[in-house]
A and B are shown apart, each in its own frame.
Chain A
Amino acid sequence: MKALTIEPNMGRPDDFYEALVEAHRDLTDEQSQALNAALILLLANHVGELEVLRDALRRARKTVTDNPPR
């Protein structure tokens, strides 16, 4: 089964993180949610492999379900 890459894969992680936060500057929460949705769709198409995407969805969901709100 194809798995998601979880080892470091980008040369300048700090630059990306800054760009990600910057992309949301001055947006309402609703606009930010719309941006995130579009971003997920764009990146998902770039990844392409359904198995990899399912692995990512599973890992992302786990970060939430493993840490129920206190």
Chain B
Amino acid sequence: MNAIANGSFRRPVAVVGAGPVGLTAAIDLAQQGLDVVLLDEDDTRAIGSRAICFSKRTLEIFDRLGCGERMARKGIGWRVGKVYFRDRLVYAFDLLPESGYRRPAFINLQQYYVEDFLIERACELPNLDLRWKNKVVGLVQNDEGVELRVETPGGTDALFFDFVVAADGARSPIRAMMGLETKGRVFRDRFLIADVKMSADFPTERWFWFDPPFNRNQSALLHRQPDGVWRIDFQLGWEADPALEKQPERVIPRVRALLGSQIDFTLEWASVYTFSCLRMERFRHGRVIFAGDAAHGVSPFGARGANSGIQDADALGWRLRLVLEGKAPDRLLDTYDAERVFAADENILNSTRSTDFITPKSGVSRTFRNAVLELAKDHPFAQRMVNSGRLSVPSTLTESALNTPDCEPFAGAMVPGAVASDAPVRCAGRPDWLLAHIGNAFVVLYFTDGAPQDGVSAAVREFERSSIEVRLLIVTRPNAFAGSVSGITVVEDSDGLCARRYDGRPGTCYVFRPDQHVCARSRRIDAVWLRDAIDRATCAGALTLAKEVR
């Protein structure tokens, strides 16, 4: 381990696993200027569609990383879901009934496309060193760093890093190497997933069946993907033989029963899976930090696997940068653990409840489930209880230690700990989006009627002397403020939605973390308040301690 101090190859960060989560983490870190090595034992992308539903929040993160538009253009946007019980439509839901967001509630996009586009973006970053066929076979850490032993086509290397991000999947070899456990509930059920190519004119909606005539006493799910590929999930039950059920001669009649005899299709891929809801007790273990499926697992109902993993990466990037650059203390990384464990528990709770509704575990549970579905046809209250998956939304981190508590009343959802809501704006005379101006650094958003007051610029300028980068973003009423202020972005609240979604009035101010979460807000800005808020959000020095003691 002495080699850690004077090793020949040393970089700040290694990310292990080039799936959607590892790629996101590596791109985020590299985009922030860190030298990153991304290691993957394989050199192939995902086979089959695998994760297909990518949420609005995931797209917003991809936007920040410079590849959201690529994903959104290829993906199929959707927001309406329909639920059937036996042969009847029970109800339909709309996940994003309000307009005024850049991105839809969800896109469907095969995981291999998501990985392709992320790899394209990764290859644009010269400080991101992507190494395929590099298998981590050993890990040792001490106070000075982490040594990874890596098998490569050219032999075994010893590489040294300050931190390692383990995004190496549900069966995480790194977790095993470190002797760490992941615990939770394993569900006794099996599902068949089939990718089917066909030209059908079904609308772009999520269709879910409870107990349909073509799959009695089980469930089924139909989803449209790009390239005329449709994803169908059939619940099989625990007794089903997985090797048998994925044979085309078994799969094709199932698909035929769903689609009817009129539609021609070809089977592209089929797989049988089981799932469990698991998580590690802690996601941070010294200099090794776990993210995505390596850290936590959920059932697929609700699309909370890949989406929550990408949010892990989003939460980790800026923290690692500040710690590595010596601008924030090491304990900032402990708040990654606290926030993402909280989010994982929320995701596990939601996906467990969905699973219990979809697969009742007792006779009485099935009786209640069916009663809910019967009532849902004409009783709105029961529609709210129908649970075919509570679809992924980001956690509101109200308990985060990085939040500054409100001192004045605010309406709406933008509480400290919430992800910033998008809204349409105009910037330099052109239509734009609010979120395009938030992220990658701390951003102070200030609502004003006219020209920004001197005090605002002064409060933000204070930070030009500090090590933490803080940008000012001014939001004005339309046409209220034509001029420009040097170095400061001014956007017009063209549709009034910034003011509405943020309960913003002249003088209102929000502070956003580099991962676009609200960490503080106030009805008036001053330099001391702003410094306190950013100190708190970066775990800086004595102030945070003093406030916790109080």
Contact = CB atoms under 8 A, between A and B. Distances in A.
Interface string B380-394: 011001000000000
Contacts of B368: 37, 40-41
Nearest to B371: A37
A34 B370 contact: yes
B367 A33 contact: yes
Contacts of B374: 34, 38
Given A41-B382, A41-B385, A45-B381, A34 B367 contact: yes
B375 interface: yes
Most buried by A among B368, B371, B374: B371
Interface in A1-54: 33-34, 37-38, 40-42, 45
Q: How large is the interface on B (under 10, 10 to 19, 20 to 34, 35 or more residues)?
A: 10 to 19
Interface in B346-369: 364, 367-368
B13 to A, nearest CB: 45
A45 B368 CA distance: 14
Contacts of A40: 368
A45 B384 CA distance: 11
A25 to B, nearest CB: 19
B497 interface: no
Interface in B75-100: none
A41 B367 contact: no
A52 to B, nearest CB: 16
Nearest to A33: B367
A42 B372 CA distance: 10
B188 interface: no
A42 B381 CA distance: 9
A41 B370 contact: no
A32 B367 CA distance: 10
B371 A34 contact: yes
Contacts of A37: 364, 367-368, 370-371
A7 to B, nearest CB: 27
A42 B375 contact: yes
B85 to A, nearest CB: 13
Interface residues of A, number: 8
Contacts of A38: 371, 374-375
Nearest to B374: A38
A47 B67 CA distance: 49
A37 B372 CA distance: 8
A40 B364 CA distance: 13
Contact of B379 (A33, A34, A42): A42
A40 B367 CA distance: 12
A33 B368 CA distance: 9
A42 B367 CA distance: 14
A33 to B, nearest CB: 5
Nearest to B368: A37
B241 to A, nearest CB: 30
Contacts of B385: 41
Contacts of B364: 33, 37
A44 B333 CA distance: 44
Contacts of B382: 41, 45
Nearest to A44: B381
A28 B375 CA distance: 19
Contacts of A41: 368, 371-372, 375, 382, 385
B412 to A, nearest CB: 24
Contacts of A33: 364, 367
A53 B313 CA distance: 40
Nearest to A37: B371
B244 to A, nearest CB: 32
A63 B440 CA distance: 59
B114 to A, nearest CB: 39
A19 B530 CA distance: 66
A51 B382 CA distance: 19
A13 to B, nearest CB: 25
A46 B92 CA distance: 23
Contacts of A42: 375, 379
Interface string B205-248: 00000000000000000000000000000000000000000000
Interface string B426-469: 00000000000000000000000000000000000000000000
Contacts of B375: 38, 41-42
A27 B235 CA distance: 31
Nearest to B376: A41
Interface centre among A33, A37, A45 (most CB of B within 10 A): A37
A34 B367 CA distance: 6
A69 B137 CA distance: 58
B447 to A, nearest CB: 37
Contacts of B381: 45
Contacts of B379: 42, 45
Nearest 10 CB-CB pairs, A to B? A37-B371, A45-B381, A38-B371, A37-B367, A37-B368, A33-B367, A41-B371, A38-B375, A34-B371, A34-B367
Interface of B: 364, 367-368, 370-372, 374-375, 379, 381-382, 385
Given A34-B371, A40-B368, A42-B379, 6 more contacts: A34-B367, A34-B370, A34-B374, A37-B364, A37-B367, A41-B368
19 contacts: A33-B364, A33-B367, A34-B370, A34-B374, A37-B364, A37-B370, A38-B371, A38-B374, A38-B375, A40-B368, A41-B368, A41-B371, A41-B372, A41-B375, A41-B382, A41-B385, A42-B379, A45-B381, A45-B382
